[in-house]
Amino acid sequence: MNSHTLIEPVHLLQFQMSQPSKVYERYHFFLKSHSNERAAELTKDYCIETSFQTIDDQLACFEFLYMNDYINDLETILHTKDNHAEPSFLYEKLIKRREKAFSLHELKEFESLIFRHPSLKCLHLFIMIYMYYDLKMYTALDKYIDLCCVHLLAVREPLFYYYMNLRFDELSFHHYWKTNNLILARKYAYKYISKVIAPRKLSSMHHNLSLTYVFEDYDSSMYHADQALKIAETHDFSSMTKILKNNTIPFIAAFHQRTENMTTSDLVETAHIALAENEWDKARAILTSLPTLTPFQESYLGLATQNSKILRHAHQRFLQENGDLFFAMLPQLYLKRLN
């Protein structure tokens, strides 16, 4: 499938998409004759150089820049151009959220706001759900899923609709992953990677998808981790590359006890590898030297010390502190190994 068709509304929605933005038209044109990366660069330049007057044009511009990781350029536009207040406010919230999670009080204040433009309503709702997720409240989507569909169907601009659909797939994936509904989680992950264009988001979803397989299928888990790493290395995503090489891939290998030639600079995953290789003293020495333990580290310590009480405590911490039914399986699986 050509990339320009990815952002086109499906046939049943073409009549609904009655307000194509200037950014959509330009990006669609560039995707017909350029690579994804070049088309994105050209569209970014167009967004920077052009002043947009309507809310739909501004939203398409802001959303394009945000979803393609041109965050510095988006911040510049938000602070230097004459924009409508409401879109600017929502994207400033999105950017602030990347730096620090909002408190529950701030979330409730944000939840009480009212927007009338259909695209703003949709974005406001999705940001609100992100805020719940940041607070480890992954069941929030259950309450709002019908409203998400209603607001999506009210959007009239095709590029904004395309990105809101991506956001919905992403939100659904995280909801079903963390609530341990893996068939549905993977359904939305595969939908996402079949549509997404931005390399960083594609790498991130392959990374997350690899973790959904970690407890059941070494090959599938490692395949998606390798895909994420290839994309990250190709595009010089240094932080993602570091996480994959030093945390995720060693974690997968250690859990499955397939650690031959596996190394990491991460101290905790070094302990995890030591456990996989039955180097109990080495693992215990590392883990007991840590001043505080995360639920993951506590799970490793429970296995290293063969202490079922520690493992059960780690399980409760995954549920209570992280709201994470998926990774709460880790200490339970280690408990089975002890038994």
Q: Could you tell me the residue ranges of all domains in the chain? A: 198-256, 266-339
Whole-structure pTM value: 0.94
Question: What is the predicted pLDDT for the residue at 15?
Answer: 63
Cβ contacts of residue 144 below 8 Å, gap of 6+? 125, 128, 129
Q: Can you give the length of the chain in residues? A: 339
Question: What is the predicted pLDDT for the residue at 13?
Answer: 63
- In the chain, the amino acid numbered 71 is I
Calculate helix-pair angle for 199-212, 158-178, nearest 10 degrees: 20
Q: Percent of the chain, pLDDT > 70?
A: 96
Cβ contacts of residue 3 below 8 Å, gap of 6+? 31, 36, 39, 197
Structure tokens at 148: 């998400």
pLDDT (tens digit per residue) in 178-194 = 999 999 999 999 999 99
- In the chain, the amino acid numbered 329 is M
Whether 7 has a pLDDT exceeding 80, the answer reads: no
pLDDT (tens digit per residue) in 197-242 = 899 999 999 999 999 999 999 999 999 999 999 999 999 999 999 9
Q: Are 198 and 39 in contact (CB under 8 A)?
A: no
Going by pLDDT thresholds of 50, 70 and 90, the confidence category of residue 1 is very low
CA distance 305 to 284: 7
